[in-house]
Copies of this chain bind each other. A is one copy, B any other.
Protein backbone atom coordinates (compact mmCIF):
# COMPACT_ATOMS: atom_id res chain seq x y z
CA UNK A 1 0.00 0.00 0.00
CA UNK A 2 2.64 2.54 -0.96
CA UNK A 3 -0.07 5.01 -1.99
CA UNK A 4 -1.66 5.02 1.40
CA UNK A 5 1.74 5.48 2.96
CA UNK A 6 2.22 8.36 0.62
CA UNK A 7 -1.05 9.97 1.66
CA UNK A 8 -0.23 9.48 5.28
CA UNK A 9 3.13 11.03 4.73
CA UNK A 10 1.53 14.01 3.03
CA UNK A 11 -0.98 14.56 5.76
CA UNK A 12 1.91 14.42 8.15
CA UNK A 13 3.77 16.97 6.06
CA UNK A 14 0.79 19.33 6.03
CA UNK A 15 0.53 19.02 9.78
CA UNK A 16 4.25 19.47 10.07
CA UNK A 17 4.04 22.60 7.94
CA UNK A 18 1.63 24.15 10.40
CA UNK A 19 3.61 22.94 13.38
CA UNK A 20 6.98 24.18 12.15
CA UNK A 21 5.63 27.54 11.05
CA UNK A 22 3.85 28.21 14.31
CA UNK A 23 6.84 27.07 16.35
CA UNK A 24 8.88 29.77 14.61
CA UNK A 25 6.38 32.37 15.70
CA UNK A 26 6.24 31.00 19.21
CA UNK A 27 9.99 31.58 19.51
CA UNK A 28 9.44 35.30 18.91
CA UNK A 29 6.56 35.82 21.31
CA UNK A 30 8.59 37.53 24.00
CA UNK A 31 10.60 39.73 21.65
CA UNK A 32 9.96 43.44 21.28
CA UNK A 33 9.48 44.89 17.81
CA UNK A 34 12.77 46.74 18.28
CA UNK A 35 14.64 43.50 19.01
CA UNK A 36 13.55 42.03 15.72
CA UNK A 37 15.37 44.67 13.66
CA UNK A 38 18.85 44.17 15.13
CA UNK A 39 21.77 42.74 13.21
CA UNK A 40 24.65 42.49 15.62
CA UNK A 41 27.26 41.13 13.19
CA UNK A 42 27.53 40.06 9.56
CA UNK A 43 27.18 36.39 10.50
CA UNK A 44 23.85 37.05 12.21
CA UNK A 45 20.54 38.32 10.84
CA UNK A 46 17.61 40.21 12.33
CA UNK A 47 14.69 38.11 13.57
CA UNK A 48 12.49 39.95 11.10
CA UNK A 49 14.73 38.84 8.29
CA UNK A 50 14.61 35.18 9.36
CA UNK A 51 10.81 35.38 9.58
CA UNK A 52 10.61 36.80 6.09
CA UNK A 53 13.37 34.75 4.47
CA UNK A 54 11.91 31.38 5.51
CA UNK A 55 8.60 32.56 4.10
CA UNK A 56 10.25 33.76 0.89
CA UNK A 57 11.74 30.27 0.58
CA UNK A 58 8.25 28.74 0.35
CA UNK A 59 7.11 31.47 -2.00
CA UNK A 60 10.09 31.05 -4.33
CA UNK A 61 10.68 27.34 -4.35
CA UNK A 62 7.19 25.99 -3.67
CA UNK A 63 4.49 28.46 -4.70
CA UNK A 64 6.17 29.94 -7.76
CA UNK A 65 7.34 26.54 -8.96
CA UNK A 66 4.12 24.59 -8.48
CA UNK A 67 1.40 27.19 -8.94
CA UNK A 68 1.76 29.08 -12.24
CA UNK A 69 -0.99 31.51 -11.23
CA UNK A 70 0.74 32.54 -8.03
CA UNK A 71 1.64 36.23 -7.75
CA UNK A 72 4.34 37.51 -5.40
CA UNK A 73 3.12 38.95 -2.12
CA UNK A 74 5.37 41.94 -2.84
CA UNK A 75 7.59 42.41 -5.89
CA UNK A 76 10.61 43.60 -3.90
CA UNK A 77 10.63 40.73 -1.41
CA UNK A 78 12.54 38.49 -3.80
CA UNK A 79 15.40 40.92 -3.67
CA UNK A 80 15.12 41.67 0.03
CA UNK A 81 14.77 38.15 1.40
CA UNK A 82 16.88 35.95 -0.85
CA UNK A 83 19.85 34.92 1.27
CA UNK A 84 22.44 33.56 -1.13
CA UNK A 85 20.70 31.70 -3.93
CA UNK A 86 22.46 33.10 -6.97
CA UNK A 87 20.21 31.16 -9.30
CA UNK A 88 17.14 32.65 -7.63
CA UNK A 89 18.15 36.22 -8.54
CA UNK A 90 19.90 39.21 -7.02
CA UNK A 91 19.88 39.75 -3.28
CA UNK A 92 20.29 42.46 -0.69
CA UNK A 93 23.73 42.72 0.85
CA UNK A 94 23.96 40.37 3.81
CA UNK A 95 25.84 42.67 6.14
CA UNK A 96 23.20 45.40 5.67
CA UNK A 97 20.20 43.39 6.78
CA UNK A 98 20.12 45.44 9.96
CA UNK A 99 19.59 48.60 7.92
CA UNK A 100 16.11 47.59 6.82
CA UNK A 101 13.21 48.83 8.91
CA UNK A 102 10.68 48.21 6.18
CA UNK A 103 8.78 46.05 5.54
CA UNK A 104 7.80 46.29 9.19
CA UNK A 105 7.35 43.32 11.49
CA UNK A 106 3.62 43.62 11.01
CA UNK A 107 3.97 43.39 7.25
CA UNK A 108 6.30 40.42 7.58
CA UNK A 109 3.80 38.69 9.82
CA UNK A 110 1.10 39.37 7.21
CA UNK A 111 3.45 37.84 4.63
CA UNK A 112 3.82 34.78 6.85
CA UNK A 113 0.05 34.45 7.34
CA UNK A 114 -0.49 34.74 3.60
CA UNK A 115 1.93 31.90 2.87
CA UNK A 116 0.54 29.88 5.76
CA UNK A 117 -2.87 30.21 4.15
CA UNK A 118 -2.00 29.38 0.57
CA UNK A 119 0.39 26.48 1.08
CA UNK A 120 -2.25 24.13 2.56
CA UNK A 121 -4.54 24.99 -0.37
CA UNK A 122 -1.75 24.13 -2.78
CA UNK A 123 -1.05 20.87 -0.94
CA UNK A 124 -4.58 19.76 -1.69
CA UNK A 125 -4.32 20.82 -5.32
CA UNK A 126 -1.06 18.99 -5.92
CA UNK A 127 -2.12 15.79 -4.18
CA UNK A 128 -2.36 13.04 -6.77
CA UNK A 129 -0.80 15.00 -9.60
CA UNK A 130 2.46 14.16 -11.34
CA UNK A 131 4.18 17.01 -9.50
CA UNK A 132 3.28 15.54 -6.15
CA UNK A 133 6.59 13.82 -5.43
CA UNK A 134 8.75 16.80 -6.33
CA UNK A 135 6.38 19.16 -4.54
CA UNK A 136 6.67 17.30 -1.26
CA UNK A 137 10.39 16.95 -1.67
CA UNK A 138 10.78 20.72 -1.88
CA UNK A 139 8.21 21.39 0.83
CA UNK A 140 10.14 19.12 3.14
CA UNK A 141 13.34 20.98 2.35
CA UNK A 142 11.50 24.21 3.15
CA UNK A 143 10.45 22.90 6.54
CA UNK A 144 13.93 21.70 7.39
CA UNK A 145 15.23 25.04 6.17
CA UNK A 146 12.86 26.84 8.50
CA UNK A 147 13.97 24.65 11.39
CA UNK A 148 17.55 25.68 10.74
CA UNK A 149 16.51 29.32 10.86
CA UNK A 150 14.62 28.71 14.10
CA UNK A 151 17.95 27.87 15.63
CA UNK A 152 19.54 30.96 14.10
CA UNK A 153 16.70 33.15 15.38
CA UNK A 154 17.65 31.99 18.86
CA UNK A 155 21.42 32.25 18.53
CA UNK A 156 21.29 35.56 16.68
CA UNK A 157 18.99 37.31 19.12
CA UNK A 158 21.01 35.96 22.05
CA UNK A 159 24.09 37.51 20.48
CA UNK A 160 22.35 40.81 19.80
CA UNK A 161 20.79 41.28 23.22
CA UNK A 162 23.95 40.20 25.00
CA UNK A 163 25.55 43.42 23.72
CA UNK A 164 22.95 45.54 25.50
CA UNK A 165 24.25 46.83 28.83
CA UNK A 166 20.79 46.15 30.25
CA UNK A 167 21.45 42.42 29.68
CA UNK A 168 17.79 41.68 29.08
CA UNK A 169 16.28 38.23 29.57
CA UNK A 170 14.75 36.96 26.35
CA UNK A 171 12.60 34.35 28.04
CA UNK A 172 11.14 34.47 31.55
CA UNK A 173 11.89 31.79 34.09
CA UNK A 174 14.69 29.87 35.71
CA UNK A 175 17.29 27.36 34.61
CA UNK A 176 17.62 24.06 36.46
CA UNK A 177 21.08 23.32 37.84
CA UNK A 178 23.05 20.52 36.23
CA UNK A 179 23.89 17.45 38.25
CA UNK A 180 27.59 16.63 38.60
CA UNK A 181 28.68 14.15 35.95
CA UNK A 182 31.18 11.42 36.73
CA UNK A 183 34.68 11.14 35.25
CA UNK A 184 34.82 10.71 31.52
CA UNK A 185 34.45 7.08 30.44
CA UNK A 186 35.96 6.08 27.14
CA UNK A 187 34.16 4.01 24.56
CA UNK A 188 36.45 1.86 22.41
CA UNK A 189 35.81 1.32 18.74
CA UNK A 190 38.13 -0.87 16.73
CA UNK A 191 39.50 -0.41 13.26
CA UNK A 192 37.62 -1.46 10.16
CA UNK A 193 35.56 -0.35 7.23
CA UNK A 194 32.43 1.52 8.23
CA UNK A 195 29.50 2.66 6.12
CA UNK A 196 28.80 6.31 6.68
CA UNK A 197 26.41 8.94 5.44
CA UNK A 198 22.74 8.65 4.71
CA UNK A 199 20.91 5.68 3.22
CA UNK A 200 18.88 8.02 1.02
CA UNK A 201 15.40 6.85 2.13
CA UNK A 202 14.24 9.38 4.68
CA UNK A 203 14.79 13.13 4.48
CA UNK A 204 18.36 14.37 4.50
CA UNK A 205 20.39 17.22 3.10
CA UNK A 206 22.54 16.54 0.07
CA UNK A 207 25.72 16.93 2.13
CA UNK A 208 24.84 13.82 4.18
CA UNK A 209 25.29 11.54 1.20
CA UNK A 210 26.03 9.44 -0.57
CA UNK A 211 26.41 6.52 1.73
CA UNK A 212 30.04 5.43 1.44
CA UNK A 213 32.70 3.31 3.03
CA UNK A 214 35.43 4.71 5.22
CA UNK A 215 38.30 2.95 6.95
CA UNK A 216 38.71 3.99 10.56
CA UNK A 217 41.68 3.24 12.78
CA UNK A 218 40.88 2.16 16.32
CA UNK A 219 39.90 4.99 18.66
CA UNK A 220 38.36 5.92 21.98
CA UNK A 221 35.60 8.49 22.34
CA UNK A 222 34.36 10.16 25.52
CA UNK A 223 30.92 9.28 26.89
CA UNK A 224 30.10 12.84 27.78
CA UNK A 225 30.95 16.42 26.87
CA UNK A 226 33.38 18.68 28.70
CA UNK A 227 31.98 20.70 31.65
CA UNK A 228 32.35 24.36 32.49
CA UNK A 229 34.42 23.34 35.48
CA UNK A 230 36.83 21.39 33.32
CA UNK A 231 37.13 24.26 30.88
CA UNK A 232 37.75 26.66 33.73
CA UNK A 233 40.83 24.60 34.64
CA UNK A 234 42.13 25.24 31.17
CA UNK A 235 41.63 28.97 31.70
CA UNK A 236 43.28 28.89 35.10
CA UNK A 237 46.21 26.96 33.65
CA UNK A 238 46.78 29.88 31.25
CA UNK A 239 45.31 28.11 28.25
CA UNK A 240 44.31 31.35 26.55
CA UNK A 241 47.83 32.74 26.72
CA UNK A 242 49.82 29.62 25.86
CA UNK A 243 50.43 29.93 22.12
CA UNK A 244 51.74 26.37 21.81
CA UNK A 245 48.23 25.01 22.40
CA UNK A 246 46.65 26.87 19.51
CA UNK A 247 46.49 26.40 15.79
CA UNK A 248 48.39 29.17 14.06
CA UNK A 249 45.27 30.74 12.55
CA UNK A 250 43.41 30.36 15.83
CA UNK A 251 46.10 32.20 17.73
CA UNK A 252 46.18 35.05 15.23
CA UNK A 253 42.43 35.62 15.30
CA UNK A 254 42.00 34.93 18.98
CA UNK A 255 44.81 37.31 19.99
CA UNK A 256 43.43 40.04 17.77
CA UNK A 257 40.04 39.71 19.43
CA UNK A 258 41.55 39.26 22.88
CA UNK A 259 39.59 36.18 23.81
CA UNK A 260 40.03 35.14 27.39
CA UNK A 261 37.00 32.96 28.09
CA UNK A 262 33.95 31.41 26.36
CA UNK A 263 31.84 33.97 24.56
CA UNK A 264 29.10 34.67 27.11
CA UNK A 265 31.19 34.27 30.23
CA UNK A 266 32.17 37.11 32.48
CA UNK A 267 34.11 37.42 35.67
CA UNK A 268 32.36 39.58 38.27
CA UNK A 269 32.72 40.24 41.95
CA UNK A 270 30.38 37.31 42.59
CA UNK A 271 32.45 34.90 40.52
CA UNK A 272 31.97 33.61 37.00
CA UNK A 273 28.74 34.54 35.32
CA UNK A 274 27.20 33.68 31.99
CA UNK A 275 24.72 35.57 29.82
CA UNK A 276 21.84 33.25 29.01
CA UNK A 277 18.46 33.55 27.33
CA UNK A 278 17.18 34.10 30.87
CA UNK A 279 19.53 36.97 31.70
CA UNK A 280 22.91 36.84 33.37
CA UNK A 281 23.38 33.92 35.79
CA UNK A 282 26.14 32.42 37.87
CA UNK A 283 28.02 29.87 35.83
CA UNK A 284 26.85 26.29 36.42
CA UNK A 285 30.06 24.33 36.84
CA UNK A 286 28.47 20.98 36.00
CA UNK A 287 26.84 22.12 32.78
CA UNK A 288 28.61 21.51 29.46
CA UNK A 289 30.91 24.27 28.27
CA UNK A 290 29.13 26.07 25.46
CA UNK A 291 29.54 29.00 23.05
CA UNK A 292 33.11 28.19 22.22
CA UNK A 293 34.77 28.18 18.83
CA UNK A 294 36.44 25.33 17.01
CA UNK A 295 39.69 27.04 17.90
CA UNK A 296 38.95 26.82 21.61
CA UNK A 297 37.66 23.26 21.38
CA UNK A 298 40.82 22.20 19.58
CA UNK A 299 43.12 24.02 22.01
CA UNK A 300 41.32 22.59 25.01
CA UNK A 301 41.62 19.06 23.64
CA UNK A 302 45.34 19.52 23.01
CA UNK A 303 45.85 20.91 26.50
CA UNK A 304 43.92 17.98 28.00
CA UNK A 305 46.13 15.53 26.08
CA UNK A 306 43.40 14.39 23.76
CA UNK A 307 41.94 15.46 20.44
CA UNK A 308 38.54 16.09 18.86
CA UNK A 309 36.89 13.12 17.15
CA UNK A 310 36.57 13.17 13.38
CA UNK A 311 33.04 13.36 12.11
CA UNK A 312 33.28 9.73 11.01
CA UNK A 313 34.36 8.66 14.48
CA UNK A 314 31.51 10.62 15.98
CA UNK A 315 28.96 9.11 13.59
CA UNK A 316 30.08 5.55 14.19
CA UNK A 317 29.79 6.07 17.94
CA UNK A 318 26.43 7.83 17.65
CA UNK A 319 24.75 5.51 15.16
CA UNK A 320 23.63 2.83 17.63
CA UNK A 321 22.08 5.38 19.97
CA UNK A 322 18.57 6.73 19.86
CA UNK A 323 18.23 10.39 18.97
CA UNK A 324 17.38 11.56 22.47
CA UNK A 325 18.53 14.58 24.36
CA UNK A 326 17.63 18.14 25.19
CA UNK A 327 16.10 19.84 22.15
CA UNK A 328 14.22 23.00 21.14
CA UNK A 329 10.88 21.27 21.74
CA UNK A 330 11.74 21.43 25.46
CA UNK A 331 11.70 25.22 25.21
CA UNK A 332 14.63 25.56 27.60
CA UNK A 333 17.44 27.25 25.78
CA UNK A 334 20.37 26.63 28.05
CA UNK A 335 22.62 23.56 28.14
CA UNK A 336 22.43 21.68 31.44
CA UNK A 337 23.47 18.13 30.71
CA UNK A 338 26.66 16.47 29.43
CA UNK A 339 25.43 12.94 28.86
CA UNK A 340 23.81 12.82 25.41
CA UNK A 341 25.35 12.53 21.95
CA UNK A 342 22.28 14.34 20.60
CA UNK A 343 20.93 17.75 21.54
CA UNK A 344 22.20 20.05 24.35
CA UNK A 345 25.36 21.28 22.58
CA UNK A 346 26.68 20.85 19.07
CA UNK A 347 29.98 19.00 19.20
CA UNK A 348 32.92 20.32 17.20
CA UNK A 349 34.68 17.58 15.27
CA UNK A 350 38.23 17.68 13.97
CA UNK A 351 36.91 17.33 10.41
CA UNK A 352 36.99 20.00 7.78
CA UNK A 353 33.69 20.31 5.96
CA UNK A 354 34.33 18.65 2.58
CA UNK A 355 32.16 16.60 0.23
CA UNK A 356 31.76 12.86 0.69
CA UNK A 357 33.10 10.65 -2.10
CA UNK A 358 30.57 10.70 -4.93
CA UNK A 359 28.81 13.80 -3.56
CA UNK A 360 26.68 15.75 -5.97
CA UNK A 361 24.61 18.79 -5.02
CA UNK A 362 20.84 19.05 -5.51
CA UNK A 363 19.99 20.24 -9.01
CA UNK A 364 19.03 23.91 -9.46
CA UNK A 365 19.12 26.73 -6.98
CA UNK A 366 18.67 24.37 -4.03
CA UNK A 367 22.02 22.87 -4.95
CA UNK A 368 23.55 26.01 -3.47
CA UNK A 369 22.25 24.96 -0.08
CA UNK A 370 25.34 23.14 1.09
CA UNK A 371 27.99 22.46 -1.50
CA UNK A 372 29.32 25.95 -1.96
CA UNK A 373 30.16 26.26 1.72
CA UNK A 374 32.53 23.29 1.67
CA UNK A 375 35.65 25.37 2.19
CA UNK A 376 37.43 26.30 5.39
CA UNK A 377 34.55 25.35 7.66
CA UNK A 378 34.43 22.75 10.40
CA UNK A 379 31.84 20.06 11.03
CA UNK A 380 29.69 19.95 14.14
CA UNK A 381 27.46 17.04 15.03
CA UNK A 382 24.50 16.19 17.22
CA UNK A 383 22.30 19.26 17.58
CA UNK A 384 21.73 21.54 20.57
CA UNK A 385 19.09 22.92 22.91
CA UNK A 386 18.17 25.27 20.09
CA UNK A 387 17.72 22.52 17.48
CA UNK A 388 14.44 20.72 16.96
CA UNK A 389 14.76 17.03 17.81
CA UNK A 390 12.73 16.25 14.71
CA UNK A 391 15.45 17.88 12.68
CA UNK A 392 18.40 15.78 13.85
CA UNK A 393 19.84 12.51 12.56
CA UNK A 394 23.12 10.72 13.29
CA UNK A 395 24.26 11.62 9.77
CA UNK A 396 23.40 15.32 10.15
CA UNK A 397 26.32 17.66 9.31
CA UNK A 398 26.35 21.16 10.66
CA UNK A 399 29.26 23.46 9.81
CA UNK A 400 30.68 26.81 10.88
CA UNK A 401 33.94 28.70 10.46
CA UNK A 402 36.56 28.01 13.10
CA UNK A 403 36.04 31.34 14.85
CA UNK A 404 32.25 31.03 15.33
CA UNK A 405 31.22 31.21 18.99
CA UNK A 406 27.62 32.29 19.01
CA UNK A 407 26.20 28.80 18.43
CA UNK A 408 25.45 26.41 21.29
CA UNK A 409 28.64 24.42 20.66
CA UNK A 410 30.78 22.40 23.02
CA UNK A 411 33.43 19.67 23.19
CA UNK A 412 33.53 15.87 23.16
CA UNK A 413 37.03 14.38 23.39
CA UNK A 414 38.59 11.43 21.56
CA UNK A 415 41.95 9.69 21.49
CA UNK A 416 43.88 7.02 19.62
CA UNK A 417 44.18 3.58 21.10
CA UNK A 418 47.83 3.80 21.93
CA UNK A 419 47.82 7.40 22.97
Contacts and interface: CB of A to CB of B under 8 A. Distances in A.
Interface of A: 32-38, 40, 48, 76, 79-80, 84, 86-87, 92, 96, 98-105, 160-161, 163-166, 168, 191, 193, 212-217, 243-244, 246-251, 298, 350-352, 354-355, 357-358, 360, 368, 372-376, 402, 416, 418-419
Contacts of A101: 32, 34-35, 37-38, 160-161, 164
Contacts of A249: 373, 375-376
Given A243-B86, A248-B373, A102 B402 contact: no
30 contacts: A33-B34, A34-B34, A34-B36, A34-B37, A34-B102, A34-B105, A35-B101, A37-B38, A38-B101, A40-B99, A76-B165, A86-B243, A96-B163, A99-B160, A101-B164, A102-B166, A212-B217, A216-B357, A217-B358, A247-B373, A247-B374, A247-B375, A248-B373, A248-B375, A249-B373, A352-B354, A357-B416, A360-B419, A375-B402, A376-B376
Contacts of A103: 166
Contacts of A376: 249, 352, 376, 402
A349 to B, nearest CB: 11
Contacts of A96: 163
B372 A217 contact: no
Contacts of A161: 101-102
A133 to B, nearest CB: 23
A160 to B, nearest CB: 7
Nearest to A243: B86
A105 to B, nearest CB: 6
Contacts of A368: 244
Contacts of A38: 37, 98-99, 101
A84 B248 contact: yes
Nearest to A99: B163
A87 B244 CA distance: 8
Name, among A34, A35, A216, the residue most crowded by chain B CB atoms within 10 Å (CB to CB): A34
Contact of A164 (B35, B102, B105, B352): B102
A165 B81 CA distance: 12
Contacts of A358: 217, 416, 418
A36 B104 CA distance: 12
Please provide the 4 A-B residue pairs with the shortest distance between their CB atoms, ordered closest to farther. A352-B352, A34-B101, A376-B376, A215-B215
A364 to B, nearest CB: 10
A357 B217 contact: yes
A250 B372 CA distance: 9
A330 to B, nearest CB: 26
A213 B213 CA distance: 12
Nearest to A108: B34
Given A34-B37, A248-B373, A98 B98 contact: yes
Given A32-B102, A101-B32, A102-B32, A213 B212 contact: no
A164 B37 CA distance: 13
Given A166-B103, A249-B375, A354 B351 contact: yes
Name, among A99, A243, A360, A416, the residue most crowded by chain B CB atoms within 10 Å (CB to CB): A99
A164 to B, nearest CB: 6
Contacts of A298: 375
Nearest to A360: B419
Contacts of A33: 33-34, 104
A202 B56 CA distance: 59
B247 A80 contact: no
Nearest to A210: B217
Nearest to A307: B355
